[in-house]
Structure 1
Amino acid sequence: MSRSTERKGGPELNQSRLSVQMLLTVTLEDGRSWSARVDDDQRVSSEYCKSYDGSGGRWSLRIQAEVDASIPDPPKASNCYRGQFLSAVGESVLQWFASVERCKSDGGDRWSITLRNSAAASHPRGVWELGDANSLKIRSARLAIAPVDGRGWDLVSAGGMRRLQACTEQEPMEWSQSDGIWDLAQFSSGAARSNSPIHREQSGIGRVTSQGYRLLHSGEESTGTRATPSVVVILDRGQAIGLHLPRFWQKFPKALFYRPVDGPHALSSSGNPVSAVNSVSASKQSTEVLRSRTDAEWEFGLEMFPNQLDVLEELQPGEQSTFEFWLATGAVDVLKEQLSVIADGVRPRNDRPLFCERGRIAWLTPRGADVSPEYSKYLELVDQAVAGSNSFFNKREEFDEYGWRNFGDVFADHESAYNADGEVYVSHYNNQYDMIYGLGIQYLTGGDSKYLELMQDLARHVIDIDIYHTDEDLPCYNHGLFWHTVHYVDAGLSTHRGYPRGTCGGGPSSGHAYARGLLLHYCLTGDPTAYEAVEKMGEWMIAAEDGRYTRYWWLAGGETGLTSASGLEDYHGPGRGPGNAIEVLLSAYELTQQRRFLDQCEVLIRRCVHPDQAPESLDLLDVENKWFYLIFLQALGRYLEVKISMDEIDLMYAYGQSTLLRYADWMVEHERPFLSEPEKLEYPNETWAAQDIRKTEVFQWAARHTTGDQRARYLERAQWFFRHAVEELDGFETKGLCRPIALLLANGYTYEYFRRGGLDELPPAPTAPAVTFPPQVVFRSQKTRAIANLKRTLMLGLLVCCGGVLAGAWWWIRT
């Protein structure tokens, strides 16, 4: 295979390229083991499939592997493959995914390997905790890497691997050479709080017992804190294989190995697994023996779940784990330079000016421009995310938000901020208020590149851990996003699934559903798993309304109302649930252009609001219970912008536009800052100051659809609430907590565009013709309808029974 690549400002790449193959092997607690092989020409072997029981005997297995063609025109040159490891009776036990992205600018290929447990969780009484009956206990998951030679697909390891050069820590990047065994294992983050309760296992006991990493190098053992390894394996044919492993220590446990094929963890020549013993003494002995064997065959690779730690990793139902690495081949010196460039950081495909200056995301103001004092203060508040003592990086360190399940999420420190006894809860934020989107937006406006780093880490975490990857549970749960940890309690054994025992219980719902950030992540990176996540979340919003799959189907058909309820089961007005659902559906539509997603948006809009509706009748000034109507109006404004982009100025456009303006007029007269009446709030704190900035967003959307004095009135209110929100939040000592920063990241970034008269430069929004709309049909949930139908049925049955008794009595009297 040959390939020509170009690079600006980097090393000159080889014109010929060595082909590499990889062997993925997964072993469960009960001894079952599967293997699948793929090479860097994107061929998946459906013939090479072996499995073993605990004693090494083979048992029935088949593997399904195919090219994933479900993603049209990805923004990067990538190939995606998926397969299933099946049981003896043909049931899927574990799904695996592999994708490779050709990155000419960095001179390497970016690989990702994902393992997914697609079973459904049992979640008794809405409690989601470790130890589920359908969890998979994984003993090891490893990926062996070798050059392709003439011996074909049955190659287990490669002859000709002669020595290895490695750089264990990125800073300083110092290379060392090994002619014997080289084995690196990362046990923990190496942080001061690496024994944090965030690392609890099913038993409730923390899992981290060793600090940092251990390196076995030519028979000598050394230790350190945090490894970000780059390695080059030198072959006897004048070529080499280079590997860089980003996020190695952050997503512990991980291991990287270079050892003889008959050493610990290897597969023997027959393909049967060798004993998993990997003690230091055994490794030293193997090294000494093999130093004299110049013809020894060696294997090289990484362990996503290392067996050598003697710890079982629990992959919960609907959960997945992804490991990413960079792979390159060529001459040694060229590879080392390439790996040093790659180690500096991953950059997005699209440049910021494409989004900011060319309007691909509307109404962004580049940083560095002459901005108002209030917007400058807003940026100072937002930048707490990446700088200073309140940065999300510092929050990670303080609570050790590391490990393959935790890394990328942001610790919800606001949940413990007001505890009188100083107790700190383990609490996970799970992308509330679409922090992914907010981080991406701040990066695109010219913010620190750390915004991009946080965005990519959080997106990876949300896709893998916070989304429920199954088709086997209730439709209202499948592919949904788990809530943040329940307010003011410790996560316990619920990990990132919101509801530990002792709480009200629940599951994924539209009240906590965010996909726009994942859409932006896909646009920036081309990550195929982000595409899948956005599309599946859109389908989740549709499936949740299908009344055929609920316990009430035999009493009442039709739509469930699960995505439009907010706060109360039978409140289907403007609220958080339908607002988030519309945002998810719009994201899925913009990504896939499938009309069904937009149609469902319009179903929810008609259900929840009406142009002739009286906002005062909904008691929207009940701040504690109705504040979230603002989320719906923000989503309505975005819906109208999508309709404008489609040039679809129809009845529904008129419906939405009239409704938005009616509510905006009501807000002009009645809305005031949330904290102006603190007695109405359970916790009058910094979050409410930040929430006020949503009112600015709503008024700006309304201004987009008006002109003249009405537009001026809306813009005046938008500016007033923005200035007030920023000033009030800045006065709180707790302004750097997670939740207020998250709110500002994704809200308020358009303010300066509107303040500077940006609307005057845009073509006016189309004005829909005057229409008389039919009255709104009051919606009742499927559960409410079912209960009413059951009561009627019971009453009818009672009347029939009573009638029968009376008829019988009358007959008896007459006779």
Structure 2
Amino acid sequence: MMTDANSADRIPIKLTTVPLNGMVNTSVPLAKGLLYDIHQSQLMTNGQAIDCGAKVLATWPDKSIKWLHLSFSAPSSDDGELTLTLDKKAQANSISRLSGLQYESNDTQTSVTAAHYTFSLNHENGQFSIASPASENCTGSSVTGELGLRDAREQECAISSCSVSCITTPNLLDESIFALSLQVMVNYSSADNASESGVSARFEFHFDSAQSDIRLDITLHNSKAAVHTGGSWDLGDENSFQFSEFSLSLQGPEDLQTESSLSYRLERNGPWQTPTDLPMSIFQHSSGGTNWQSPVHVDHQQKIPFDVKGYIVEQRGKQVFSGERAAPQISWVNGINIAVADFWQKFPSAMTISPQTICLGLFPKQDNKHYELQGGEKSTHSIWFGVKHDPNGAYFCTDSNYTKPHISQYAKADMPLYTEFQQASGELQSLINNGLHSQRNFFEKREMLDEYGWRNFGDIYADHETAEHQDDSIFVSHYNNQYDPIYGFLRQFILSNDQQWFTLADDLAKHVMDIDIYHTKDDKDEYNGGLFWHTDHYLQAFTSSHRSYSKHQAKGAYQDHAGGGGPGGQHCYTSGLTLYYLMTGNQRAKEAVLTLTNWITYVYEGGNTCLELLLALKNRHVPGLKNHFNGQYPLDRGTANYINALLDSYVLTSDHTLLHRVEHIIQHTIHPNEDITLRNLENIEETWFYTVFLQSVVRYLDIKRANSELNHEFYYARDSLMHFAHWMHDHEYMYLDKPDILEYPNDTWTAQDLRKAHVLSAAYYYGNKTNKAFLNKAKYFEQEVATRLTLSDTKTYTRIMVLLMQNDGPTRYFEHLALEQTFATVNPNWAKPKGERYSAVGQIVTAFCKRLLALSISNEVNWLKKRLG
């Protein structure tokens, strides 16, 4: 059935800024118990059922649909908004106005047939062909495509294995195939000895019956672990993959007269041109921006590997034109159109046109130059093929436009959005708006650092690290998603509907998924799958790329400076990627969240070896690490990140064991009756992040409340929150009111004060709104943050902006949110913490006995090998 007994048979969906007669891709959050089976529903507009692809992205614990992704061709709308309904399907099957996709597959080949093309894929080598049918004014034709990878010696890398899988999306109207994704995994062997190279390519074809365009996403991956000698992660690592070319070659029919059947243009809305002399190439050497020679682009020798500004067009090796930023499109072979997304942004890029052949250089061949893909690094490029005899066909699809539901519908989501009562004209919102509208907005910061090129594009300039920089030279520092700007950007998009916020989130999410996550299984388990830190504080990145630590960096830059290391739990942010998946359906984002959750779980829980437990015994008093003998977790942001990762995975999977793990962590970190004075919270530099932990506890309470699970575990966490909130009310102040106790008393501390408002306003709500003092203190912190930052010269610094985006909203949310039930009074007599019930010796003996019972010699040897290199 479609709904439960308490729900209507009609679910309204209001969308904003719908493209005129364009393709709509959107995700709708639904309330629990509203819809269980998409196959018994249909999408309606103006009283008519329409063709619509529907994919369930997440479900509630009762198996009803939580997030539903919809794809359809938008009917025209005069006011830019569109109201649709999900209705219970009529008994009689409707007849689809689309022909749908036909899909056939066997052991050797897969074919996809649509109205505008026929596609086939060879399973042995990943070669594919696209054939367009004949039309009234155009004869049919076909193009074949093949990926090519050449190593540093320009030898072709052979394919050692190829596997194919398929995911289909049904049409709600008639259950035909509305959309289809075809994933091909190719592993390469080394060119010299035919051994496995650790290098693979994943390419995904995306087909949609409502449009004639095919999107191809190609990801190159080096799965080897970096060596990272001495904890430094510099370019030039011996396990990096050095190569000379990675390209997609497209072959036309043998009888093709290329000059007469091909046209191109260099930028969107530019004039179409016909090449007069082949071969011809369009080569984007650099960004073409003011700072195109920024040191952000240095290679392992600390040299900038290019000397041409922008792009060059050549015919037969002679330059005929040059410019700054190309976004080329080719119309070829009787109606097949080709566009590469982010052509100039992900330079170097090239299109080379020869008789019968077009080569798309994702990493184009250059004389005496190599590319380096670091161990555990990926790079993704997207290509669009338009097949409808329209030279403008493929190009609009390279934009990152997104249609979203009306803001009111996000109240049904179980993500911590806090958008219901947001003030568009509030002081904090005005500060956040600087991210788009000030002279140091996020797009301008890209230009300041020249944050472009295949490895850099999408990341944010960490300009706050330039505060101590003394001259006018460019200071290179990458942000690597600290405090989750992906989440902040998407939340701002939901609030404002400004596509620029979505563009920032889209670009950053794709960067993080490829570059910032360590995609290997061959390193230490506490590194594998982890998120790399931002560039080390106050230091140039040099050749560390986006991996924090370089051998060229000075030591002792600040208090407790590590000077080396790897991914760590204090830097793990998953909520933005979770929201990105739920809004876009991008499967890679979901995979990234689950990967990061597995990684941070290992960081805190470890494996099951005795050698590891010996190391834990040595480090049991080290701040930031779990004590594996009394079970206690540190009260810090790392444990908070761990909880948030588990909660994000729970949002995606509804796996209740994840909630149980969160409850275990909370109960082994804080206690409702503990002596808070023993926490030494007056030592701000060492303990400030306890507020981050309490924010994660609030998120846990929000999820339990949404599930109507007000049980023992809920009240343990709630009473712990109330206990700390009372201490905060009596002792907390604005950090910069006591600047002398801070190593660097800057306005980052002011932005961090906003966390206190979150915790205190939540305590006001979960205390049944009886203690107005909590709310008043929350408002005090919020107002002080807004007032002080408004007057600050550093208010547009990246870290400050991201902290505001991450932490704005909860105060008004908890002030105005109605109490749907009355919470129990605080219990003053909770049982003694479990870690204090046994002696230290007893805890150690018990832990080792458990490990010995599960002893595996192979696991012990493997653990040791990874630490000995």
How does the TM-score come out when normalised to structure 1? Answer: 0.79
Q: 1:71 to 1:196 in 2, by over 3 A?
A: farther
Which residue matches 1:523?
582
Which residue matches 2:439?
389
Counterpart code for 2:362: M
Moved more, 745-754 or 516-525: 745-754
- Note if 1:605 corresponds to 2:695: no
Q: 1:167 to 1:707 in 2, by over 3 A?
A: same
Equivalent in 440, 454, 458 of residue 508 of structure 2:
458
Which residue matches 2:731?
670
Task: Give the conservation status (yes or no) of the 8 Å contact 1:20–1:146.
Answer: no
Task: Give the conservation status (yes or no) of the 8 Å contact 2:468–2:538.
Answer: no
Q: 1:739 to 1:358 in 2, by over 3 A?
A: same
**Partners of 1:53 and 1:438 in 2: CA distance:** 40
Q: 1:744 to 1:54 in 2, by over 3 A?
A: closer
Q: CA deviation at 1:446?
A: 1.5
- Note if 1:696 corresponds to 2:696: no
Tell me the secondary structure at the aligned position of residue 452 of structure 2: coil
Task: Give the conservation status (yes or no) of the 8 Å contact 2:764–2:770.
Answer: no
Q: 1:71 to 1:109 in 2, by over 3 A?
A: closer
**Partners of 2:151 and 2:423 in 1: CA distance:** 68
Equivalent in 662, 677, 680 of residue 741 of structure 2:
680
**Partners of 1:205 and 1:222 in 2: CA distance:** 27
Which residue matches 1:113?
218
Q: CA deviation at 1:52?
A: 8.8
**Partners of 2:314 and 2:840 in 1: CA distance:** 62
- Note if 1:738 corresponds to 2:795: no
Which residue matches 2:786?
726
Q: CA deviation at 1:596?
A: 4.5
Equivalent in 399, 405, 410 of residue 351 of structure 1:
405
Q: 1:135 to 1:514 in 2, by over 3 A?
A: same
Tell me the secondary structure at the aligned position of residue 483 of structure 2: coil
* CA deviations over 1:388-415 (Å, ceiling 9, x no partner): 2110111111111111111111111111
Which residue matches 2:820?
763
Task: Give the conservation status (yes or no) of the 8 Å contact 2:339–2:384.
Answer: yes
Q: 1:107 to 1:563 in 2, by over 3 A?
A: farther
Q: CA deviation at 1:141?
A: 0.3
Which residue matches 2:774?
714
- Note if 1:140 corresponds to 2:245: yes
* CA deviations over 1:210-233 (Å, ceiling 9, x no partner): 110011258762111001122211
- Extract unaligned runs of 5+ from structure 2: 1-50, 53-71, 78-96, 100-113, 132-144, 172-176, 556-562, 849-869
**Partners of 1:206 and 1:53 in 2: CA distance:** 21
Q: CA deviation at 1:616?
A: 2.0
Q: 1:680 to 1:215 in 2, by over 3 A?
A: same
Which residue matches 1:565?
624
Equivalent in 498, 502, 507 of residue 566 of structure 2:
507
Identity %: 30
Counterpart code for 1:306: P
**Partners of 1:72 and 1:508 in 2: CA distance:** 40
**Partners of 1:66 and 1:299 in 2: CA distance:** 26
Q: 1:252 to 1:692 in 2, by over 3 A?
A: same
Q: CA deviation at 1:384?
A: 1.3
Q: CA deviation at 1:110?
A: 2.6
Q: 1:258 to 1:365 in 2, by over 3 A?
A: same
* CA deviations over 1:637-666 (Å, ceiling 9, x no partner): 111222233333333222211111111111
Tell me the secondary structure at the aligned position of residue 726 of structure 1: helix
- Note if 1:405 corresponds to 2:455: yes
Tell me the secondary structure at the aligned position of residue 553 of structure 1: helix
**Partners of 2:382 and 2:235 in 1: CA distance:** 25
Equivalent in 168, 187, 197 of residue 266 of structure 2:
168
Counterpart code for 1:323: H
**Partners of 1:699 and 1:76 in 2: CA distance:** 47
Q: 1:348 to 1:447 in 2, by over 3 A?
A: closer
Q: CA deviation at 1:568?
A: 12
Q: CA deviation at 1:309?
A: 5.5
Tell me the secondary structure at the aligned position of residue 394 of structure 1: helix
Tell me the secondary structure at the aligned position of residue 544 of structure 1: helix
Q: 1:310 to 1:614 in 2, by over 3 A?
A: same
Equivalent in 341, 345, 352 of residue 257 of structure 1:
352
Equivalent in 359, 378, 381 of residue 323 of structure 1:
381
Counterpart code for 1:245: V
**Partners of 2:298 and 2:691 in 1: CA distance:** 38
Moved more, 50-59 or 595-604: 50-59
Aligned length: 708
Counterpart code for 2:285: F
Tell me the secondary structure at the aligned position of residue 177 of structure 1: coil
More strand by percentage: 2
**Partners of 1:513 and 1:563 in 2: CA distance:** 20
Which residue matches 2:323?
224
Tell me the secondary structure at the aligned position of residue 330 of structure 2: strand
Counterpart code for 2:778: A
**Partners of 1:415 and 1:751 in 2: CA distance:** 30
Equivalent in 495, 508, 513 of residue 445 of structure 1:
495
Equivalent in 668, 678, 683 of residue 622 of structure 1:
683
Q: CA deviation at 1:20?
A: 4.8
Which residue matches 1:181?
279
Counterpart code for 2:459: D
**Partners of 1:204 and 1:119 in 2: CA distance:** 23
Which residue matches 1:639?
700
Tell me the secondary structure at the aligned position of residue 178 of structure 1: coil
Counterpart code for 1:536: T
**Partners of 2:255 and 2:189 in 1: CA distance:** 28
Task: Give the conservation status (yes or no) of the 8 Å contact 1:366–1:445.
Answer: no
**Partners of 2:497 and 2:567 in 1: CA distance:** 32
Which residue matches 2:343?
248
- Note if 1:592 corresponds to 2:653: yes
**Partners of 2:435 and 2:824 in 1: CA distance:** 40
**Partners of 1:70 and 1:549 in 2: CA distance:** 40
Tell me the secondary structure at the aligned position of residue 486 of structure 2: helix
Which residue matches 1:86?
189
Q: CA deviation at 1:679?
A: 0.5
Q: CA deviation at 1:785?
A: 6.8
Q: CA deviation at 1:379?
A: 1.3
Counterpart code for 2:374: Q
Q: 1:241 to 1:730 in 2, by over 3 A?
A: same
**Partners of 1:67 and 1:473 in 2: CA distance:** 28
Q: CA deviation at 1:58?
A: 8.9
Task: Give the conservation status (yes or no) of the 8 Å contact 1:416–1:488.
Answer: yes
**Partners of 2:656 and 2:371 in 1: CA distance:** 41
**Partners of 2:395 and 2:621 in 1: CA distance:** 50
Task: Give the conservation status (yes or no) of the 8 Å contact 1:693–1:725.
Answer: yes
Matches within 5 A, 1:471-482: 471-482=521-532
Q: 1:362 to 1:500 in 2, by over 3 A?
A: closer
* CA deviations over 1:503-544 (Å, ceiling 9, x no partner): 421110110000100011111222121111001111112222
Task: Give the conservation status (yes or no) of the 8 Å contact 1:188–1:210.
Answer: yes
**Partners of 1:494 and 1:728 in 2: CA distance:** 35
Q: CA deviation at 1:54?
A: 9.4
Q: CA deviation at 1:460?
A: 0.8
Q: CA RMSD in A?
A: 4.0
Moved more, 383-392 or 630-639: 383-392
* CA deviations over 1:667-707 (Å, ceiling 9, x no partner): 11111111110111111111111111111111122233121
- Note if 1:553 corresponds to 2:553: no
Task: Give the conservation status (yes or no) of the 8 Å contact 2:313–2:321.
Answer: yes
Q: CA deviation at 1:386?
A: 1.3
Matches within 5 A, 1:41-120: 62-67=160-165, 78-87=181-190, 88=193, 90-102=195-207, 107-120=212-225
**Partners of 1:646 and 1:564 in 2: CA distance:** 34
**Partners of 1:386 and 1:194 in 2: CA distance:** 22
Tell me the secondary structure at the aligned position of residue 386 of structure 1: helix
Task: Give the conservation status (yes or no) of the 8 Å contact 2:626–2:633.
Answer: no
* CA deviations over 1:458-505 (Å, ceiling 9, x no partner): 111111110000011111111100000111111111010011124421
* CA deviations over 1:73-110 (Å, ceiling 9, x no partner): 99985343323213456535212111233456765233
Q: 1:48 to 1:567 in 2, by over 3 A?
A: closer
Equivalent in 313, 326, 329 of residue 215 of structure 1:
313
